[in-house]
Amino acid sequence: MTAGGLRRRARAAVADRGLGDKVHRATLRTVEKRAHLVAGIPDWEDLRRRARAVRLEALDRHDELRAAFRRALEARGATVTTVATGEEAAALVARLAREAGRRVVKSKSMTSEEIGLNTALEAAGLEVTETDLGEWIVQLAGQPPSHITAPAIHLGVEDVARLLRDRAGLELPAWVAREGTAPQAEREALARELSLAARHILRARFLSAEVGVTGANFLVAESGTIALVENEGNIRLATCLPRRHVVLAGLDKLVARDADLGVLLRLLPVSATAQRQSGYVSLLADRHPDLHVVLLDNGRRRLMDDPEQRDLLTCIRCGACLNACPVYRCIGGHAYGGAYPGPLGAALLPQLAGGERFSDLPFASSLCGACTDACPVGIPLHERLLQLRARLVRTGAARELGATLRAAARAMRDPRRLRRALHLYRLGRPLLGLLPLARRWSRSRAFPPAARETFHDEWARTRGRPARDASPAPSRIPARAPAGPPGRGLPAPDPADLFAARFRELGPAGETEFRRFARAADARAFLRELLDGVPPDEVVRPGTPHPRREVRFGMTGAEALIAETGTVALSLANRDETLASLLVDTHVVLAHPSLLLPDLATYHARRAARKAASGGHLDVLLTGPSRTADIEKTLVIPAHGPRRMIVVLCDEPLDPGTM
Amino acid sequence: MRVGLFVPCFVDAFRPGAARATVALLERLGVRVEFPAAQTCCGQPQFNAGLVDEARELAGRFCRVFEPYDAVVAPSGSCVAMVRKHYPGLVDGHPVAARTFELCEFLVERLGVVEVGARLPGRAALHVGCHQRRELRAAAPVERLVEAVQGLERVPVASDEWCCGFGGTFSVKFPEISAEMGRRKLEPIRAAGVDWLVSTDVSCLLHLEGLLAREGGDRPRTLHVAEVLAARGTTP
C-alpha cells in the first residue's frame, strides 16, 4: 500500500480505549434514537428513494443548475464564483473577508475543513472564531473535528472543562482537578455550565464580527435559496449580525427545486441528530446587500462524470454512516486523516483532488454494510469501497497482500493443491508466528487449530458413492399467513393538538409553552400578565428595530405552524427581522389556527409554489428554543438563541405589532 | 431435487464438523446431498481485496462445478452472499448464482422447516454474519431456527447486529482495528454469561474464538449454527 498512515494512526487510536468508549457511547445513543424515530415514519423508505432520485437528478443537470443558481443570486446583487481548487477557494474567502474587516465568525462547515480554510484566514491576518459549540471546542483544542455532525465527540466533559479553564479563565470542579470521576448527573451539570459559558463568550464575538462565513446544506437552483440547518442559532447569528456573508459550498450542494427540500430536509435531521426537525432551518433567498457565494470544485466535477462512483456526491453529510460504522466507533474520526471520516470519507477522500494519500482508506472496512443500511440517500457505501479497491489494485496503487492472494487463487484452481496447502498449515502452525504476515493475526488472536481431517478428505473416505436417500420426510410448516389489512385509520387528530404535543416535547424542562385562546381578549390578558413590569425597551415587536443586544421578549407572527414537528415558520423581508426571534430571551409567537399545516412536506410544497410569485425574502423554520448537545450529548437549552418559546394560538386575529 | 453441498475453505480446514452437521441435518430432513469434490473457494478473499480477475476465475470455476445441481447449499452466509450478490457482476447471468442458498435460508424458505428436532442445553448468543444479515437479508430464518431449538435459550445482546471485525483480508491489513471490533463485539456477550456463541459463519467464529482464547476462560464456546441444529441433546 502506498499510503500506510491509516494503520499507524488507527493503532494509536485503538490503544486509547477511553476514546473508543466515548465514541461508542455517543454514536450508539444517536443510532438508537434514530431507529426509534424512523420506526414512526411510515414513508421512510419512500423518502430515501425520492431523495436519491432528486440528488442524482441534480448531478445529471449540474451545469444547467449551477448557471441558474448563479443567475438567481446575481439578480439579487450577490456574487457567485466557482473555484477549481481548495487553495483558490481559501484565497478567495480570505480576500472577501479582509475587504470587510478583521473579525470572522464561522459556522461549522466540512467544506472549510476540506480546504483548511481557518489556517488560510489566520495567515491572512484575520481573527477567526468557530461558533458551533463542538467546533469551537476543537478549535480551542487545536484539533480538527472528528465527526461530521458532532465535532467534539472524542472529548469528555473534563477535557472541555480544561480547555475552557485555559482559554476562558474558568474554575475547574474538584473532581476534574484531581483527575477523578463523577456521577452522570454531575457530568451533565458541568456540560451545561460549560455550554452556557461558551454562549456568553461567543455572544461578544458575534456582535463585533464584520464577516460571517458559513457553509450550506443545500443550494436551490430555481430560487437561489441557500439552505442552512442547525440547532444552536449560531448560523442564524453569523448570517444576520455581520455586514458581509460569505458562503463556501461544494458543487455537490446544488438541488433543482425548492420542493426537493421537502424530501431532503425531512431526512437530514432524522439521520444526523435523531430529531424530527433541527432547531433552525434558514432558507435564505433575500436581497442581502453584501453576499458572496464561493462554489468549490476540488475534484467534484470530474467525479460527477464517473458512472460508478458519482453517487458519492449525493451525500447530505448527515454522519449516519459514521454512527453505524464499527470501524469508526473503534478508531474515531482523526485516524482517517482527512476532513471526512467514516465510510463516506473512506470512499470520498481518495477521489477528491490530492486524494492519492488516502489510497489505504477504502481497505479499512470489514464491508459489513451497516453504512449502506444507514445512508438516508441510499448510497451503497460498502459497494463503492469494494469498487475502489479494485481500481486501486488495477492501477498498482494498492499492492499489500496482492502476491499472497494471487498465490492463493492459483492454489484454488485445484482441490489437491488446496489440500496440500492445508496440510502445510497443519504442520507449520507452531512456527507460523515467525512470519510477519501471520503475526498480524496472532498478536491479538490465537491461530485456529486445523482439523485432523478436512471435510473433503472425510467425504472421500466415507462416501465414495452418493448418499442413500433413506431419511424421513421433512416436517413442513405452513407459510405464515400474510398480515391482515391495517386497522381502520383513527379519525385524524386536530392539527392544533398534534402541534401542541410536538411543540411541548421540544422543551423538556418547560422551555416551550403552548397557549390556546378562543377570544382575543383572553390572549391579550395572558400577554399583559406575561409582560407585566417589563420595561418597554425589553420587548421587540414587528416594525420596531432590534437594538442588537439581547432583549427579554421578541413578539412575532408566523407564516405557518407545522404540526408534525412542532415547527413555527417565519417569512421575513431581511435578516434584521430575524433578530426578534433570535437575540431575545423569550420568543413569543402569535398565530391563528388557519396557519396550521400538517407536515413539512406540505410546507415545502407551498413554499415552492409561493416562491415563483414573490422572491427576495428569507424563511426561517423554528423548532423549539435554541439547543446544543455537543458535550457528551448532554442537551443544553439555550445555545446561542432564545431560552424560551411561547406559542399563543388564538381563534380571533391578533396583531403582534400591538400586543 | 439435486442438491450440491458447497463447503467453504474455512469450514473445510478448520471446522469440518459444521459441514458434517450440515449433511446430517439435511439428510435427516430427507434431502439427498452431493458433494462435488472439484470445488475449492468462492473467490471472496480475492474479490474483497480488489483482485477482480482472480475472483472471476474462481467464480467461473464454482459455477462450472455446481452447474448440474438444482440448488447449492452452503453453511456460510458470507460465501453465499458472494455468490448470489457479486457473481452476477463477475460471471454474467450464470444461473448457479441465483440458486445458491445459505443453510438456514434453505431450510426455512425452501423446505419450509423451522422445527428440525434439535436439542441443546444452555444459553446462547447468536451472531448472524453481516453478509447474511445485510446482503442476503436473511437473519430471520437463522433466528427462527435457533429459537426453536429445545433446551436452548437465545439471549439477545446489545452487540447482536455489530460486525465481529473479521472482514477477510481486513483482519490482517488492519489487525488492530479488526481485533478491537471483535473485543467490543464480545463485551456484551461475555457480560451476558452465555454458554454458547453461535454463528452462521466459521470465519467470524475463528476470529472471535481467537480473541476469546487470548482472554482466557472457558465460556462462551463457539458453535456453527449447523452444529446447533444437528445437536441431539448432547454437546456437539
Q: Give the pLDDT mean for A51-78.
A: 97
d(CA B100, CA B59) in angstroms, rounded, equals 13
A519-564, pLDDT tens digit by residue? 999 999 999 999 999 999 999 998 889 999 999 999 999 999 999 9
- Picking from A393, A440, A455, the nearest residue to B50 by CB comes out as A393
Q: Does B132 touch chain A (CB under 8 A)?
A: no
- A622, A283 contact by CB (below 8 A): no
Give A441's contacts in chain B (Cβ within 8 Å): 171-172, 175, 210
Give B211's contacts in chain A (Cβ within 8 Å): 444-445
Q: Does B169 touch chain A (CB under 8 A)?
A: yes
**DSSP conformational letter for A563:** G
For residue B7, the SS3 value is: coil
Interchain CB distance below 8 Å, A7 and B45? no
Place of cell 427581522: A577
Q: Which positions 63-102 of B are in contact with A (Cβ < 8 Å)?
A: none
Query: Given strand B196-199, what is the order of strands in its sheet?
Result: B150-154, B119-127, B196-199, B221-224
* Confidence bin at A659 (pLDDT 50/70/90): confident
Residue A470, pLDDT > 80, answer no
- B53, B60 contact by CB (below 8 A): no
A336-363, pLDDT tens digit by residue? 999 999 999 999 999 999 999 999 999 9
Q: Does B191 touch chain A (CB under 8 A)?
A: no
From A93's Cα to the closest Cα of chain B, the distance in A is 39
Residue A474, pLDDT > 50, answer no
Round to the nearest angstrom and report the end-to-end CA distance of chain A: 69
Residue A375, pLDDT > 50, answer yes
**DSSP conformational letter for B110:** I
Give B14's contacts in chain A (Cβ within 8 Å): 448-451
Torsion of CA A265, A267, A269, A270, to 10 degrees: 150
What is chain B's Cα-based Rg? 17
* Confidence bin at B191 (pLDDT 50/70/90): very high
Give the closest residue to A265 by CA, choosing from A279, A252, A251. Answer: A279
B223-235, pLDDT tens digit by residue? 999 999 999 986 6
pLDDT given at position A615: 64
A49 grid coordinates: 428513494
d(CA A327, CA A27) in angstroms, rounded, equals 12
pLDDT given at position B236: 62
From B210's Cα to the closest Cα of chain A, the distance in A is 4
Rounded to the nearest integer, the mean pLDDT of chain B is: 96
Does the predicted TM-score (pTM) go above 0.80?
A: yes
Non-local CB neighbours of A428 within 8 Å, separated by 6+ positions: none
Non-local CB neighbours of A132 within 8 Å, separated by 6+ positions: A107, A108, A151, A230, A232, A234, A630
Residue A479, pLDDT > 60, answer no
Q: Could you tell me if residue B216 is left (phi over 0), alpha (psi between -120 and 50 degrees) or otherwise beta?
A: left
Interchain CB distance below 8 Å, A441 and B172? yes
CA angle A230, A349, A224 (to 5 degrees): 45
- Picking from B32, B184, B211, the nearest residue to A467 by CB comes out as B32
Q: Does B200 touch chain A (CB under 8 A)?
A: no
From B223's Cα to the closest Cα of chain A, the distance in A is 14
Complex ipTM: 0.97
What are the residue ranges of helices labelled H in A506-574?
A: 520-530
- Name the E strands within A422-498: none
A598 grid coordinates: 400538517
- A189, A225 contact by CB (below 8 A): no
pLDDT given at position A185: 95
> Which residue on chain A is closest to B24 by alpha carbon?
A471
pLDDT given at position A418: 80
Residue B192, H or E segment: none
Interchain CB distance below 8 Å, A394 and B169? no
Residue A437, pLDDT > 90, answer no
Interchain CB distance below 8 Å, A454 and B12? yes
pLDDT given at position A317: 98
pLDDT given at position A490: 56
* Confidence bin at A487 (pLDDT 50/70/90): very low
d(CA B79, CA B102) in angstroms, rounded, equals 8
Residue A333, pLDDT > 90, answer yes
- A285, A625 contact by CB (below 8 A): no
Residue A1, pLDDT > 60, answer no
Non-local CB neighbours of A176 within 8 Å, separated by 6+ positions: A158, A161, A162, A182, A190
Query: Given strand A254-255, what is the order of strands in its sheet?
Result: A254-255, A218-220, A225-230, A280-285, A617-622, A567-572, A560-562, A596-597
- A238, A291 contact by CB (below 8 A): no
Q: Give the pLDDT mean for B88-112.
A: 95
Interchain CB distance below 8 Å, B168 and A367? yes
A157-196, pLDDT tens digit by residue? 999 999 998 777 788 999 998 988 899 999 999 999 999 9
d(CA A567, CA A563) in angstroms, rounded, equals 7
Place of cell 443545500: A218
Q: Give the pLDDT mean for B181-190.
A: 98
d(CA A408, CA B46) in angstroms, rounded, equals 9
Rounded to the nearest integer, the mean pLDDT of chain A is: 92
A560-603, pLDDT tens digit by residue? 999 999 999 999 999 999 999 999 999 999 999 999 999 999 99
With residues binned 3-state (H G I as helix, E B as strand, rest as coil), the percentages for chain A, rounded to 5, are 50, 15, 35
Residue A482, pLDDT > 50, answer no
List the beta bridge partners of residue B222: B197
- A282, A239 contact by CB (below 8 A): yes
pLDDT given at position B93: 81
- A379, A317 contact by CB (below 8 A): no
B12-64, pLDDT tens digit by residue? 999 999 999 999 999 999 999 999 999 999 999 999 999 999 999 999 999 99
